[in-house]
């Protein structure tokens, strides 16, 4: 065997591998940078107000502005919000392990794979999940959340609303408001001094009506320490979790 030639082949192979890995790393970093922004993306006046009010931003600002329609959903007539005991309790640590949690609970909780964990709304003893629209966008609503109840490091029961999404193919699709513009509106007019913005997420939100059929529109959710704001992605209206009153953009 020509060991000198074999050595050169190995060297070239490692160089090629390093190039491939380097390109992948660069591509991942570039993609991350293109999908998230920081506070410097806000206009100078908003940045000034942010500093004057001592508002802190502890998360990146999503740059993505997809085209989305309003959606319709309705409650199934045999609604049952009782707490249901799991046949087989599972380790609570699985809630952070995505696919493993789906494998453990997929056969015990109806449509479990169609929900996403929300650490912002979870509390001691309860993991909160939101139903997903088109397998991607969380539907933010207190009455629609799936609750996984845990004790002694085991998920032992759950509580789930029974809803059905209606096809949104007939609804007009519109480009949503940017997270930067939505955040600027909140900083300028709504967020109190010394507040901390912990999370920014795009999903769906709609006020509940005394009706079987419900409507929700794309909305940005801004989670603060003691309050949550929803900014409608189409109209720009602002809703506070404290007042539940919709305020139009002036």
Residue pLDDT, tens place only, 156-199? 999 998 888 876 666 688 899 999 999 999 999 999 999 999 99
Determine the pLDDT at residue 167. Answer: 62
What per-residue confidence (pLDDT) applies to 166?
A: 76
CB 129, CB 115: distance < 8 Å: yes
Q: What class, spelled out in words, does domain 80-161 have in CATH?
A: alpha beta
Q: Where are the beta strands (DSSP E) in the chain?
A: 36-37, 56-57, 61-62, 67-68, 71-75, 84-91, 115-117, 126-133, 137-140, 146-151, 154-159, 163-166, 174-175, 196-205, 213-224, 228-232, 238-240, 246-247
Domain formed by 38-70+169-247, architecture: Beta Barrel (2.40)
Q: Name the residue with higher pLDDT: 221 or 99.
A: 221
pTM of the predicted model, to two decimals? 0.81
Are 186 and 222 contacting, i.e. CB atoms less than 8 angstroms apart? Answer: yes
* pLDDT (tens digit per residue) in 116-145: 999 999 999 999 999 999 899 999 988 889
Q: Which pLDDT value is given to residue 89?
A: 95
At 206 the pLDDT is 83
Stretch 73-96: mean pLDDT, rounded? 84
Lowest mean pLDDT among 19-28, 144-153, 218-227, 234-243: 19-28
Residues 214 and 232 sit within 8 Å (Cβ to Cβ): no
Domain edges within the chain = 1-37, 38-70+169-247, 80-161
């Amino acid at each position: 065997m020509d060991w000198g030639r074999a050595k050169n082949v190995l060297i070239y192979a490692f160089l090629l591998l390093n190039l491939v890995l380097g390109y992948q790393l660069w591509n991942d970093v570039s993609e991350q940078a293109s999908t998230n922004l920081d506070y410097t993306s806000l206009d100078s006046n908003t940045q000034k107000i942010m500093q004057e009010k001592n508002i802190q931003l502890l998360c990146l600002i999503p740059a993505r502005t997809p085209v989305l329609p309003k959606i319709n959903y309705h409650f199934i007539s045999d609604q049952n919000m009782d707490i249901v005991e799991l046949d087989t309790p599972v380790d609570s640590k699985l809630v952070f392990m995505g696919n493993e949690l789906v494998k453990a609970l997929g056969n015990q909780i109806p449509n479990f794979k169609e929900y996403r964990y929300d650490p912002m709304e979870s509390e001691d003893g309860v993991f909160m999940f939101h139903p997903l629209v088109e397998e991607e966008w969380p539907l933010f609503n207190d009455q629609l959340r799936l609750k996984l109840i845990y004790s002694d490091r085991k998920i032992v029961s759950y509580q789930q609303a029974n809803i059905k999404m209606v096809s949104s193919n007939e609804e007009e699709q519109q480009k949503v408001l940017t997270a930067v513009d939505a955040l600027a509106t909140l900083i300028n007019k709504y967020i109190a001094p010394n507040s901390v913005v912990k999370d920014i997420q795009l999903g769906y939100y709609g006020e509940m009506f005394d009706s079987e059929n419900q409507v929700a529109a794309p909305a940005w959710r801004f989670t603060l320490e003691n309050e949550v704001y929803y900014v409608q992605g189409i109209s720009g209206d602002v809703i506070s979790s404290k007042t539940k009153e919709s305020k139009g953009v002036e």
